[in-house]
Each structure stands twice: as C-alpha cells, then as structure tokens.
Amino acid sequence: MIYPLLPLFLAGALGANASFIGAIEGVAESAASLLKVASGIRSDRMKRRKPFVVAGYALASIVRPFTALAQTATQVFALRLTDRIGKGIRTAPRDAMLADSAPAGIRGRAFGFHAAADNAGAVLGPLIAFAFLQAQGIGSLESSRLDSADEQAIRNVFWLAAIPAAIAVAVLIFVVREAPRGDSAAKSSAGELAAPTALSRRFWAYLVVILLFTLGNSTDAFLLLRAHQLGVPIVLAPILWALLNLVKATTGTYGGHLSDRLGRKSLIVAGWMLYAAVYFAFGWATAAWQAWALFAVYGIFYGMTEGTEKALVADLVPRARRGAAFGWYNLAIGLAALPASVIFGAIWDASGAPSAFVFGATLALLAALLMLVVAPGRAGAGK
C-alpha cells in the first residue's frame, strides 16, 4: 500500500529529487544488509529461526505507517532505514527456514510460491490504496506537485497500512511453524558449522555475479517515476504497481517449478536478458500505454528469477550454513543497492532517463553472460 506511493509522495509533497530518492532506497537497503549476515549466522547457531523472523516483521510493521507524519524527506529516510533494519533481521532466517522445509526436488517451486504469495499481497495492497484514494476524491494529478488535499489523502493511506501489518504479525506469531532443528541435526552438522570452507568457491562466484547484476538493478521507484513521465497519472500508480505484482504472483510458482526441471541457470540467464530488454525499452518509450505493457513484461522477469535465485543459494550450501549463506546473498544485493540507485539517479538527473535505463540494461547483459560460466547447469542438491 505504501511503496508505490512513496516516491511520488517524496517528489510531489516533500520536494525530493531523483538522486535523493535513489539515496534513500540505496542507503536503507545497504545498511540493513549488514544485519542479514549477522542474523543469518546467528540463526544457524540457534535451535529456532522463527524469533528472528517475528522480530524483523514486527519492527517494520510498527514503523512503516508513521510515514504519514513525515514532514521532510530526511524523516522518511529515517523511517525507511528502520523498516529495512527489520528486514535485515528477518530475511536470512526466514529464507533458511523455508529452505529447511522444502525437499531439494521442489525447492525452486517452494521459493517461487513464497515469492508469488508475497506478490499477491502486493497486488491487493495497491488496489486497496487506489480505492481509498478514489473514495477521498484524489485527482488525476497531472502536475508534479501535490496539493494539500491530495497529500493528506496519501498520508491517510499510509495510516491505513497499519491494519494489514498487524494482522500479518499476528499470523506469523500464532500460525507459522518451522521445521524441527533438534539436537541430532545440530550434532550431525557440527563439522559443517565449524568448517571455514563450507561455503564453496562456486557459491562466492555466484554472489559476485549477483552483485554485478544488482549494480544495474536500481530501485523500482524509478520505474514509477518514468511511468509518470510517460503520462500515467499519479492516481493510477497503485494500479500500475498492482499489475506488476499480479504478473509476479501468477508466474512466480511456475518459474520456480521450471527451475526444478530445467536448471536454475537457464531461468536466471533468460530472466536477466528479459530484464535488459525491458530496461532498454523503458529508456526509449514515448507513451503511457508502453509503460503499462513494460510493467507487465517486467513482472515476468521477477517470476523467472525471484524464487530461482534463492533456490540456487540453498542448492550450493549445506543445510547447517543456510542462514549464513542467505545472509551473504542478501548482503551482496544490499551492498550493490546503494551505488545502483545513486548512480541511476545521478545519470537520470545529468543525462535523462534513457541513459540511466541503458546503463542498467548493459550491466544485466554482462551479468547474464557471467552466469553462464559460474552457475551449475542443473539444480544442485544442497540437502
């Protein structure tokens, strides 16, 4: 509910430029990524990963709605940073908890289903936001600035987001269960926990390629800004965001399933090449309908890669090191997020949107070529 309106709120109500919006996203993600390694490693040493997951989701759910009170872009940055700290606490233990629950033969489908379920929520959220904005009479907002009534309507949506957040945390606490990690499992994996070479060179090479791709994968907030440039009204931003997530939700499980059958490498390389094509097209698009079409195709990229990339992490490492592995995986993405978004925003401000999108597309193509070398041809068998 909040995310598709946040860049427009920052630019239209608080006066932030593209570079600052990119910095907010990049700094928040990079800082939080350091916690992902620490929490992942710590969860490997604990009998239960769930407390980390609960704490991370609870922190983010508490702070996000307070964006409604922000009067400056700096305040939004502080709230966004705290939100991402919550993500840093929960992400690696959550991914390891999911990997622990899924047999190797359907691991891609499991991670794909997780991504699809997450994205299904991201469909409903923008639709609720759109309905709420319409009920408050928000205009089409062809201007880049928000008037006071439209600004207040967006702030009200931010408050409304507290309701599903509270429900999500309650479900996590009382319903979600993790696979047992008893003493026998801990004893059998003690050598793996102590071995410095448990995370293989192929795993580290995979992270280098992920980092390169992420350098060209700036925040999707820029796609929303680009869509507005092409003529998509701000009031339709939640619907555009819902379309993206609908495609992600409907393709995620199938994309993960294909990776179980065809291999992780095939899906990731094809997905990254599709990403490059979409970014090239975003750079040279000229009409609002093209933005809608590109958002839909962009969702297919996510469906092909979102679950597959994580399944490959689990394939490449032993079970006892999954928390650490997912921590390092998310750290690689987070470390690249800051320069990715800042560089993209700086290129946009200096040379225009087309140059920025060509930069992202070029790095995606380079990463796809490297993936052909470093990734195993078929899904591995990290048990």
Q: CA nearest 271: which of 311, 247, 221, 306?
A: 306
In tens, the pLDDT along 120-166 reads: 888 888 788 888 888 877 655 544 567 777 788 889 999 999 999 99
Return the pLDDT at 182: 53
And the tokens for 276?
């490059």
And the tokens for 290?
């093209």
Return the pLDDT at 377: 61
Residues of the chain with pLDDT under 70: 26, 138-145, 181-198, 376-383
Please, what is the Cα angle at 50 between 302 and 128, to 5 degrees? 45
Please, what is the Cα angle at 262 between 249 and 326, to 5 degrees? 60
Amino acid at 33: S
Domains belonging to the chain, first-starting first, are 3-176+197-374 (1.20.1250.20)
Q: Check if the beta carbon of residue 173 is closer than 8 Å to that of residue 54.
A: yes
Percent of the chain with pLDDT over 90: 37
Q: Check if the beta carbon of residue 4 is closer than 8 Å to that of residue 133.
A: no
Return the pLDDT at 186: 42
End-to-end Cα, the chain, rounded Å: 37
Return the pLDDT at 361: 94
Question: Alpha-carbon distance 105 to 381, whole Å?
Answer: 8
Q: CA nearest 327: which of 85, 92, 62, 45?
A: 92
Return the pLDDT at 194: 44
Q: CA nearest 359: which of 330, 333, 331, 339?
A: 339
Contacts of 206 (CB under 8 A, 6+ apart): 312, 313, 316, 374, 375
